[in-house]
Amino acid sequence: MTELKSRITAAIAAAEKKPWNAFRLVMGESALRQAEELEKREGPLPLRGIPVAVKDNIAVAGVEMSCGSRLLEGYVPPEDAEVITRLKQAGAVILGKTNLDEFAMGSYGLRSAFGPVRNPLDPLRCAGGSSSGSAAAVAGGIVPMALGSDTGGSVRIPAAWCGVIGFKPSWGAVSRRGLLAHASSLDAVGLLAGSAADCGRFFDAVAGFDPGDATSFDPEPKARGVSGLRIGIWREQLLLADTPAQKAVLEAARLLERAGARVLEISCPAVILAGETYVVLAAQEAVSCLARFDGLRFGRGGEPTPALRTRLMGAEVRGRLCLGSALLSMEELAPLRRGALCRRSEIRQELERAFREADLLLGPTTPGPAPLLERAGDAGEERKADALTVVANLAGLPALAFPLGEAENMPLSVHLMGRRGEDRTVLRAAMALEEGRGAR
Amino acid sequence: MTEEIVVGLEIHVELSTRSKLFCGCPARFGERPNALCCPICAGHPGTLPRLNRGALEAGLRLGLAFGGKAAPVLQFDRKNYFYPDLPKGYQITQRRMPVIHGGFLEIGTGEGTRKIHIHEAHIEEDAGKLSHDPARGLSLIDLNRAGVPLLEVVTEPELRSGEEAAAFARKLRDLAVWLGVSRGKMQEGNLRADVNVSLTRDGVPGERTEIKNVASFREIQRAVELESLRQHALYEAGEPVERVTLRYDGDRDRLSIMREKEEESGYRYSPEPDLPPVVLDPDWVEQLRAGLGTLPREREREYLAWGLEREWITVLLADRELSRLLDRTVSLGAGPREAAAWILVDAQAIARARGWKGSLPTPAETFAYLIRRVEEGQFTRAVARKLLEEVFEGEDPEETARRLGLKRIGREEIEAAVETVIREGGKALQDYRAGKEKAFTALMGRAMGILRGQGDPTAVREALRRALEK
Ligand SMILES: [Zn+2]
């Protein structure tokens, strides 16, 4: 057996044991076939033979996509998502579909209809969500790269808690075609990888304008060098974190400074309202994005819509849809609706000002490490988990979670955010952190 | 008590583009159910809309043609509602900024023409079609129409009767067909109207009701008439008019209430994030405006000046091909009234008799030739008409005339024929000489017979008179 085939065979075997409930479905046969075809393809391919796991809300033609929901169980998409097409072109092998919080709604990784995902570093802790299976598959060493999606932090939170890199590109830098929409104006296809260098290669393979996605564009091809880069430590975000997470941020600042960057302090107070703003906007958008799942067309269906939805949707999804519907239709809630839109533009403006002083904003990804499962019952706490990450979605900016520091024997993570389109500058800074951390 | 009917229309004009509004599926009518759909128009998860520029252009041209202003920015919204024929659970439309603002169309009324103002027009996608099969207990969905582009034209409430409402709809249809942006076929549902009716009594405006999805001019007229009567009866009985949605049943000529008390928030709108706002290039819009060519209202003025009959003008303005044919025939030197008569009466009669479908196959040159020959006195009109039947499908008239022996009848031939009539003599000649003027007709008939009916009657008459006076 060739090296490539044996590598894929090993990955299939590891995934098929369904460790941590990370995989929903392993595409063993098709992965082997892809490996065989790859051996016939000549020339250098950027991701030749790399097995990639795919969050089960991204379409792979002919492979069931249930999005963590009983409502969509049995739905088979007819076309590959644009990112899947690009990954295959780059020589990657699609290994399987990973588990996620139902309809990508959740921060702990516990809300899949097909069972919770466990943290590979400590099975008594949450993996984080909603790209929980993808993060676990990378953290557990089954794949070096995995696709996720990020509407409010769904790639960066599980990356932070599983100790891997999670990258949410600029809104539009990676085509959303084939990603099941949760809230289109906030959604991004996200990347999870074991190293910053891998994450960079991964991004190069999937990024760029897609004529089938009117919101897509080509991000800046060149990264700014770290030397002379202005890193703004984000004061309000730092204050929202626990002491160990604050320390990790200061450590990251030191590493970047050593690489030639200039560190300064930045204040953006409007972001304190980002969490609430996100809840209002995301719930409304989810109502229309999920409206097509009425039980008539996709999944097994077969009974009148309200009954079917009540029976087959989890409480979190139903709760958000109820909130969103009320927001959309009740005149009494119009101020809330308008307020959220105003705050979104305020946040954008404030960030624009911040990016005149700094090239990157640095803060913690989450206030602390992965919570213990026994303490994960509180939905209110869960919703606060994305307090630090949603701002990147509201403003459409590239943001990356980088594992740095420790607390309670679990990894912590720092958060780098750049200007829209400067995705590669964010990735370059992550590589500098990686080099600095290794040299330490 | 004065009472006035107040009508506003929302007319959905189906734009005849090659493909649907947001995907590459062909936009055609009459195919097998669900033969024309793809993951995008079937609303599969993960699919994204991609705007068809042709549809945007068609919508803009219609809007500019009725004098509307193009919006500076093109943006779309979602109209969220559940219905089985709506694949995504929302319809992509334009709520915040319709692509066209303002404009008007003129309609003919009892008291002359009146301007009916247009509030706005917006581009949106059509839904699929739902049909019910009670025998099998099934409801069936056909998505062939889902995603077909529409321009919804919203008038100000300035129409005052069913007749006026129908006249406006017809005017809009004719304009769309004239521009080639819609097929305008009512029986295929290319034009559907929501009709808003209220009564203003002694200057006090009353509650408004809506009749949904009315699909023909006659039905628009009847819906207004029936609804204004219904409201009138309610007021007279002292009962309130409620804000309801009605349906008009054409077969039974009856209105029925579909939904009680409609509230605006029944439809929940939200911005469409998958289609980012696009600045409409003003130069491009200007180019579209310049490219509209002569519009029906300008054409109408000219046709009136030409002295064409009213009915002819109505036909011409509803059919740009015919109008172009007439203009071309006139530009080749034919008199407008003669040309119109040949095209609209003679050629149409032949087309009807032959069951000809589609536009006339006869070129303008043929009509110009026939008219010239008749004017020159070389053919009688009857002969020219006979020739038209032979060359209807575009054959060369000159050559056909020669082949059929419909040659030029010259002065010598006419004089020879007249000479023969006089030489042969007979009772008619004697009667004429005896002063019986009536006998002239018989002599004339004989001469025409010798000429096989092809001589110019005026020329023959003159030649005969001259010969008899000798
Ligand atoms: Zn289609």
Terminal Cα-to-Cα distance of chain A (whole angstroms): 40
Query: Can you give the pLDDT at residue A301?
Result: 64
Query: Can you give the pLDDT at residue B452?
Result: 75
Residue A302 lies in a domain: no
Distance CA B227, CA B86 (A): 29
The whole model's pTM is what?
0.89
Query: Token match 């204040």: residue?
Result: A267
Name beta bridge partners: A414: A364, A402
Query: Can you give the pLDDT at residue B50?
Result: 96
- ipTM of the complex model: 0.94
Is residue B261 pLDDT above 70, yes or no?
A: no
Calculate the alpha carbon distances from A163 to A294, B289, B442, B456, B461 in Å. 38, 60, 115, 104, 111
Over pLDDT 90: what percentage of chain A?
Answer: 87
The interaxial angle of helices A315-329 and A274-289, nearest 10 deg, is 90
Residue A256 lies in a domain: yes
Is residue B425 pLDDT above 90, yes or no?
A: no
pLDDT tens profile A70-116: 999 999 999 999 999 999 999 999 999 999 999 999 999 999 999 99
Is residue B424 pLDDT above 90, yes or no?
A: no
DSSP-derived secondary structure for A189-251? EEEEESSHHHHHHHHHHHBS--TT-TT--PPPSSPPPSTTPEEEEEHHHHHTS-HHHHHHHHH
Sign of the alpha-carbon torsion through B97, B99, B103, B108: negative
Per-residue pLDDT band for B124 (boundaries 50, 70, 90) equals very high
Is residue A272 pLDDT above 60, yes or no?
A: yes
Distance CA A326, CA A321 (A): 8
- Say which residue, B258 or A428, is predicted with more confidence: A428
Contacts of B127 in chain A (CB under 8 A): none
pLDDT tens profile A173-207: 999 999 999 999 999 999 999 999 999 999 999 99
Closest CA to A230 of A431, A418, A391: A418
Q: Cβ of A178 and B274 within 8 Å? A: no
Residue A2 lies in a domain: yes
Which residues lie near ion ligand 1 (Cβ < 5 Å)? B 23, 25, 38, 40-41
Mean local confidence (pLDDT), B314-327 = 90
Average pLDDT, chain B: 91
Residue A332 lies in a domain: no
> Residue A317 corresponds to which tokens in the numbers above?
């999804």
Is residue A395 pLDDT above 90, yes or no?
A: yes
Q: Cβ of B48 and A177 within 8 Å? A: yes
Residue A313 lies in a domain: no
Distance B124 CA to ligand 1 centre (A): 15
Mean local confidence (pLDDT), B97-125 = 94
Residue A73 lies in a domain: yes
Q: Cβ of A179 and B46 within 8 Å? A: yes
In CATH, what number is assigned to the domain containing residue A11?
3.90.1300.10
Q: Cβ of B45 and A329 within 8 Å? A: no
Query: Can you give the pLDDT at residue B407?
Result: 66
* Longest Cα–Cα distance in chain A: 67
Helix H or strand E segment including B114: strand B112-125
Mean local confidence (pLDDT), B210-232 = 96
From the list B43, B51, B271, which residue is nearest A214 (CB)? B51
From the list A214, A285, A305, which residue is nearest B48 (CB)? A214
Active site residues of A: 55, 130, 154
Query: Can you give the pLDDT at residue A428?
Result: 98
DSSP state for residue B264 in the 8-state scheme: G
Contacts of B270 in chain A (CB under 8 A): 284-285, 287-288, 328
Per-residue pLDDT band for B408 (boundaries 50, 70, 90) equals low
Query: Can you give the pLDDT at residue B318?
Result: 85
pLDDT tens profile A337-374: 999 999 999 999 999 999 999 999 999 999 999 999 98
Is residue A375 pLDDT above 70, yes or no?
A: yes
> Residue A8 corresponds to which tokens in the numbers above?
């894929």
Distance CA B112, CA B117 (A): 16
Query: Token match 């300064």: residue?
Result: A264
Is residue A138 pLDDT above 90, yes or no?
A: yes
Residue B316 C-beta-side C-alpha neighbours within 13 Å: 29
From the list A58, A77, A292, which residue is nearest B43 (CB)? A292
Residue A316 lies in a domain: no
Work out the minimum CA distance from B264 to partner chain A, whole angstroms: 9
In B66-128, where does DSSP find H-type helix? none
Rounded-to-10 torsion of CA B256, B262, B266, B270: 110
3-state SS of A131-172 is CHHHHHHHHCCCCCEEEEECCCCCCHHHHHHHCCEEEECCCC
Is residue B262 pLDDT above 60, yes or no?
A: no
Query: Can you give the pLDDT at residue A192?
Result: 98
pLDDT tens profile B125-145: 999 999 998 899 888 999 999
Distance B42 CA to ligand 1 centre (A): 7
- Which range, A60-74, B250-264, B383-397, has the best average confidence (pLDDT)? A60-74
Lowest-confidence segment of A279-283, A435-439, B53-57 by average pLDDT = A435-439
Domains and CATH numbers, chain B: 3-279 (no CATH), 294-404 (no CATH), 411-469 (1.10.10)
- Look up the domain containing A400 and give its range: 1-270+360-440
pLDDT tens profile B8-40: 999 999 999 999 999 999 998 889 999 999 999
Work out the minimum CA distance from A297 to partner chain B, whole angstroms: 8
What's the gap between Cα B214 and its chain centre?
A: 18
Phi and psi, residue A33, nearest 5° = -65, -45
Distance CA B284, CA A160 (A): 50
Query: Can you give the pLDDT at residue B179?
Result: 94
Residue A65 lies in a domain: yes
Contacts of B51 in chain A (CB under 8 A): 214
Calculate the alpha carbon distances from B238 to B6, B260, B389, B451 in Å. 20, 19, 65, 80
Distance B36 CA to ligand 1 centre (A): 7
What's the domain count of chain A?
Answer: 1
pLDDT tens profile B225-249: 999 999 999 999 999 999 999 999 9
Do the strands B149-155 and B191-201 form a parallel or antiparallel pair, or are they unpaired? unpaired
Q: A60 to chain B: nearest residue by CA?
A: B46
